[in-house]
Amino acid sequence: MTTRSHPARPRAQASRPALTAPALAAAALTTAALTTAALSSAALAADIDRDDGMTLVVPPWPGVTVKSEILAQILTPLGYSVERQEVSSTVGYNTLTTGDSDAFLAGWLPAQQDSYDAAMAAGAITDLGNNVTGARMGFAVPGYVYDAGIHSAADLAAHAEQFEKTFYSIESGSTVGDFINAAVDKDVYGLGDWDVMESSTPGMLSEVRAAEGDQRWIAFYGWTPHWMVPEFDVHILDDPEEVYGGNNGASDVKTIVSSAFAEANPNLTRLLDQLAFSADEQSEFILDYGLNKRDLEDVAHDWLKTHPEHLADFLDGVTTRDGGSALEAVEASL
* 85-102 per-position pLDDT tens digit: 999 999 999 999 999 999
The predicted-structure confidence for 149-174, as pLDDT tens digits, reads as follows 999 999 999 999 999 999 999 987 77
pLDDT over 90 percentage in the chain: 80
In angstroms and rounded to an integer, the radius of gyration of the C-alpha atoms of the chain is: 28
The predicted-structure confidence for 265-284, as pLDDT tens digits, reads as follows 999 999 999 999 999 999 99
d(CA 331, CA 305): 8
3-state class of 133 per DSSP? Answer: strand
Query: Quick check: 296 pLDDT over 70?
Result: yes
d(CA 89, CA 94): 9
d(CA 5, CA 57): 50
The pLDDT assigned to 20 comes to 53
Burial 103-140 (b: 16+ CB within 10 A, else e): bbbbbbbbbbeebbeebbeeebbbbbebbbebbbbbbb
Q: From 334, 299, 323, select the one nearest 46 (Cα to Cα).
A: 323
pLDDT band at residue 47 using 50, 70 and 90 as cut-offs:
low
d(CA 150, CA 5): 85
The pLDDT assigned to 68 comes to 98
When pLDDT is averaged across residues 281-297 and rounded to a whole number, the result is: 95
Which residues lie below 8 Å from residue 133, measured CB to CB, with a gap of 6+?
276, 277, 278, 279
Please give the model's pTM, rounded to 2 decimal places. 0.78
Query: Quick check: 19 pLDDT over 60?
Result: no
pLDDT over 70 percentage in the chain: 86
d(CA 197, CA 218): 12
When pLDDT is averaged across residues 257-264 and rounded to a whole number, the result is: 98
The pLDDT assigned to 159 comes to 98
d(CA 167, CA 201): 14
d(CA 10, CA 1): 27
The pLDDT assigned to 187 comes to 98
The predicted-structure confidence for 213-246, as pLDDT tens digits, reads as follows 999 999 999 999 999 999 999 999 999 999 999 9
d(CA 64, CA 60): 8
Angle at 320 between CA 315 and CA 323, to 5 degrees: 115
